[in-house]
Amino acid sequence: MLIDTYGRVATDLRVSLTDRCNLRCSYCMPEEGLQWLSKTTLLTDDEIVRLVRIAVTRLGITEVRFTGGEPLLRPGLVGIVERCAVLEPRPKLSLTTNGIGLKRTATALKAAGLDRVNVSLDTLRPDVFKTLTRRDRHHDVVEGLEAAREAGLTPVKVNTVLMPGLNADEAPELLAWAVEHAYELRFIEQMPLDAQHGWKRDGMITAGDILQSLRTRFELTPEGEQARGSAPAERWLVDGGPHRVGVIASVTRPFCSACDRTRLTADGQVRTCLFAREETDLRGALRSGAPDEEIARIWKLAMWGKKAGSGLDDPEFLQPQRSMSAIGG
């Protein structure tokens, strides 16, 4: 069991498969990209599967989410999913992706054992998409979403970040579109994940702003804390249901007290929080021949030291630190 000193138990593992991405979203990385990790630094497919197996069979993990960078850029992705899907007890398997490449891989991923996907899409307007991502790939994401739904990777969740002066007015339009296509839309407050450290709390689109905008067109009924559990998104029924919309208010309504996540970076480091400044090395233990029980012990010790909160209120937080691209969302 991965328990911390505050009594929280981690059952949800986020695994970053690569730090690379084929978009350059303005709230994530600079236009020129980043200095990517070397191939030898990245965990191999076998190492990823071994760590997931240890997490599932020894540490109580029941859900595994593959992230990036962009996980569809990982050549061995389908094989990794297939090998994790046969673990006992069988974990729930999901993927967070920008959707580019999903059209050609959705069917194979479903056959391999992937249960569902989260796809990032911030706008319905191709020109705004190009401005936000610095790539003209809007149609690829829309087609990827359709392919995921048709392959049965459901519920298909759409993650949206609203940015002042770009797509801040699109919330009602996005929700209407999601309802029409049977996607579950989740708005995420912009977080300080940009490698260029340009994030500012002042002027960000907050959860309150989003809900106010949505209520100009829809009736929203809160599901409540019992239905939410440890999920990061607060959810509302749209016009009485059955469709739902979620808001992840990481900045203005932090949910750290109910956090059930542990994170594995693309280069084999344990992170106890998306915003943690400390990491614990598992890659070194793997490559030095450590047995499973030793790796599990190191992982448990790392999680025991998890802090109470994310630290977003600490003025030191925004000081330069390692790029978030290999840590995963």
Identify whether the C-beta of residue 95 lies closer than 8 Å to the C-beta of residue 117: yes
Binding residues for [4Fe-4S] cluster: 21, 25, 28, 256, 259, 273
Per residue, the 3-state secondary structure of the chain, as one string, reads: CEECCCCCEECEEEEECCCCCCCCCCCCCCCCCCCCCCCCCCCCHHHHHHHHHHHHHHCCCCEEEEECCCHHHCCCHHHHHHHHHCCCCCCEEEEEECCCCHHHHHHHHHHHCCCEEEEECCCCCHHHHHHHHCCCCHHHHHHHHHHHHHHCCCCCEEEECCCCCCCCCCHHHHHHHHHHHCCEEEEECCCCCCCCCCCCCCCCCCHHHHHHHHCCCCCEEECCHHHHCCCCCEEEEECCCCCEEEEECCCCCCCHHHCCEEEECCCCEEECCCCCCCCEECHHHHHCCCCHHHHHHHHHHHHHCCCCCCCCCCCCCCCCCCCHHHCCC
Binding residues: 14, 21, 25, 27-28, 65, 69, 96, 120, 157, 191, 256, 259, 261-263, 273
Binding residues for GTP: 14, 65, 96, 157, 261-263
Binding residues for S-adenosyl-L-methionine: 27, 69, 120, 191
